[in-house]
Amino acid sequence: QLQLVESGGDLVQPGGSLRLSCAASEFPLGSYTIGWFRQAPGKEREGVSLISSGGLVTDYRDSVKGRFTISRDNAKNTVYLQMDRLKSEDTAVYYCQAVLGITIAAMEDQDFASWGQGTQVTVSS
């Protein structure tokens, strides 16, 4: 009933761009705040960005501010993460989740029953 699918990850050079997509098939994304997380090998999972159900509220972790932009198209049941000026430290598997809060800190404190496959972003020269 609750299924989110991430896509758009790829191998890019530093300074490049990618757009990730988070799509739902069995529920309306427009009813939920959606957050993006990422996890690099050997590191803790961290919150990246979120967008409220109507798109009015957004938040970003400090390291991506000014480079990443989260948006949504509720008619298409999709949330996007536009990533520009990518750096090597952005390399990670990126996941999306329906979250309860409207801050990065709140979503990082939330426990999730399961995670999808995510999409791999690799930034390397």
DSSP-based three-state secondary structure for 76 = helix
pLDDT tens sequence across 52-68: 999 999 999 999 999 99
DSSP-based three-state secondary structure for 114 = coil
Would you place residue 3 in the very low, low, confident or very high pLDDT band (cuts 50, 70, 90)? confident
The H helix count followed by the E strand count for the chain is: 1, 10
Is residue 2 pLDDT above 80, yes or no? no
Would you place residue 82 in the very low, low, confident or very high pLDDT band (cuts 50, 70, 90)? very high
C-alpha to C-alpha distance for 32 and 86, rounded to whole angstroms = 28
* Sequence-separated (6 or more) residues with CB below 8 Å from residue 32: 53, 98, 99
Q: In this predicted model, which residue has the larger pLDDT, 1 or 52? A: 52
